[in-house]
């Protein structure tokens, strides 16, 4: 698993702070508390990798993890959305930054959207999927915390969500169940991301 060699590189709060727009990167999005950090840590086989994204002051930054030894392969953690408490002007800045990143970033090859399997496809999730699909980029949905529902329950949600995504976005968005806790679906998720990174 190439992703196990991921290391923190930098955090960008403005477009000027982004690393050079070369190579391949895959962005991770999700509502706060959906389980995105846990999913990233599980996929990268590290306990604390994504903790850096959660430190105060980093909640509105794009956090870049470099997949070593490659200097031009990155995972990009888009900190959790869905906090209404963020001041309006900050929210506007953030929205514009994200929209511009999705619209113009050449290195971006795909988007992973992490959703709590008990609350899939909320407004913000659809907004992020929309950004990717508008650019012609593929997206992959992780329905995480599948351990909370058991086999039958998570299987049913998977089918529903897959049908919904197919209707809304056609074949550009795929979906799977996942559990960081039970280490479920990690190989499948890593396969998708590695493919997008050209690894
Ligand atoms: P983030 O805010 O999206 O980065 O979410 P975190 O990864 O910090 O997880 C939020 C909460 O959900 C934490 O209490 C985690 O322990 C819990 N959690 C994350 N992944 C799983 C999972 O696969 N199964 C279960 N049962 N809990 C999880």
C-alpha of residue 38 to centroid of ligand 1, in Å:
6
pLDDT digits (tens, 9 = 90+) for 109-125: 999 999 999 999 999 89
pLDDT of residue 79: 76
Alpha helices in 25-136 (DSSP H): 36-43, 88-104, 123-134
Given ligand 1 and candidates 38, 63, 128, which is best to mutate, with the most ligand atoms within 8 Å of its CB? 38
pLDDT of residue 37: 94
Whole domain around residue 83: which residue ranges? Answer: 2-196
pLDDT digits (tens, 9 = 90+) for 35-49: 999 999 999 999 989
Please work out whether the CB of residue 145 comes within 6 Å of at least one atom of ligand 1.
yes
**Structural element, H or E, at residue 26:** strand 24-30
pLDDT of residue 50: 85
Q: How many residues does the chain have?
A: 199
> For residue 36, which phi and psi values (nearest 5 degrees)?
-65, -45
pLDDT of residue 120: 97
Given ligand 1 and candidates 32, 35, 42, 75, which is best to mutate, with the most ligand atoms within 8 Å of its CB? 35
| CATH code at position 35 | 3.40.50.300
pLDDT of residue 82: 63
Below-50 pLDDT ranges, the chain? none
User: Looking at ligand 1, which atom is closest to the CA of residue 34?
Assistant: 3
CA torsion sign for 161, 166, 168, 174 is: positive
User: Looking at ligand 1, which atom is closest to the CA of residue 180?
Assistant: 23
ipTM: 0.99
Half-sphere exposure of 97 toward its Cβ, with a 13 Å CA cutoff?
A: 18
Indicate the pTM of the whole model: 0.95
Please work out whether the CB of residue 60 comes within 6 Å of at least one atom of ligand 1.
no
Task: State how many domains the chain has.
Answer: 1
pLDDT of residue 56: 64
Please work out whether the CB of residue 38 comes within 6 Å of at least one atom of ligand 1.
yes
């Amino acid at each position: 698993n190439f992703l196990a060699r991921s290391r923190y590189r930098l955090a960008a709060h403005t477009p000027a702070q982004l690393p050079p727009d070369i190579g391949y990167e895959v962005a991770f999005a999700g509502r706060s508390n959906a389980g995105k950090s846990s999913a990233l840590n599980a996929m990268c086989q590290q306990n604390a990798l994504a903790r850096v994204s959660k430190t105060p002051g980093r909640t509105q930054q794009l956090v870049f993890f470099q997949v070593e030894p490659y200097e031009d392969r990155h995972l990009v953690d888009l900190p959790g959305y869905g906090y209404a408490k963020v001041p309006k002007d900050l929210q506007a800045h953030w929205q514009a930054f994200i929209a511009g990143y999705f619209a113009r970033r050449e290195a971006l090859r795909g988007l992973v959207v992490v959703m709590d399997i008990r609350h899939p496809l909320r407004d913000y999730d659809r907004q992020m999927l929309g950004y990717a699909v508008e650019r012609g980029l593929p997206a992959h949905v992780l329905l995480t915390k599948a351990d909370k529902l058991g086999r039958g329950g998570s299987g049913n949600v998977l089918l529903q969500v897959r049908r919904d995504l197919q209707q809304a976005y056609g074949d550009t968005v795929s979906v799977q169940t996942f559990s960081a806790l039970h280490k479920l679906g990690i190989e499948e998720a890593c396969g998708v991301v590695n493919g997008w990174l050209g690894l």
